[in-house]
Amino acid sequence: MALRKVGSKIPAFSLLSTSGKKVTSKSLLGSSYVLFFYPKDQTPGCTKEACSFRDHFSLFKKKKIAIFGISPDSIESHEKFLQKQELPYELLSDPNHSFAEKMGAWGEKSMYGKKYMGILRSTFIVNPKGEISKVYPKVSVATHAEDILKDL
């Protein structure tokens, strides 16, 4: 499935969060937010990307834009990652990658010539109406948050 397009509605979701609560598409209506899909907690590229959002968090907060990182990792894994990297935003667990699939952020990848299915690193900005206002299909992990802020 291709990545969701600008202007399309965010599919309904309900995911466990490191806040201890469920975050749902319905609960986020009326606010703007960033959903960034990443493959795995504590890996070099994912850590760079998560820290990029951490380092620019205050600028997103000023613009009243919430940030959510999403991967198939467990809440326990997310909590360790959040604490170790001092992330000031919530991480959501999508263990069976069903939401990632609905968003088009799950697909075939290749490493060392071996093909496998996994998270396709991608980011979506969602407006208060629950519509996607920007899609980032390719991400430069070190500067990703800055790139988004330039577009806002």
pLDDT single digits (tens) 50-88: 999 999 999 999 999 999 999 999 999 999 999 999 999
Which structural domains are found in the chain, ordered by start? 14-151 (3.40.30.10)
- The active-site residue out of 3, 15, 46, 145 is 46
Beta-bridge partner residues of 24: 14
Q: Which of 98, 122, 134 is nearest to 8 (CA)?
A: 134
Predicted confidence at residue 1, as pLDDT, reads: 61
Q: Is 46 a catalytic residue?
A: yes
Instruction: Please give the model's pTM, rounded to 2 decimal places.
Output: 0.94
**pLDDT tens column, 10-32:** 999 999 999 999 999 999 999 99
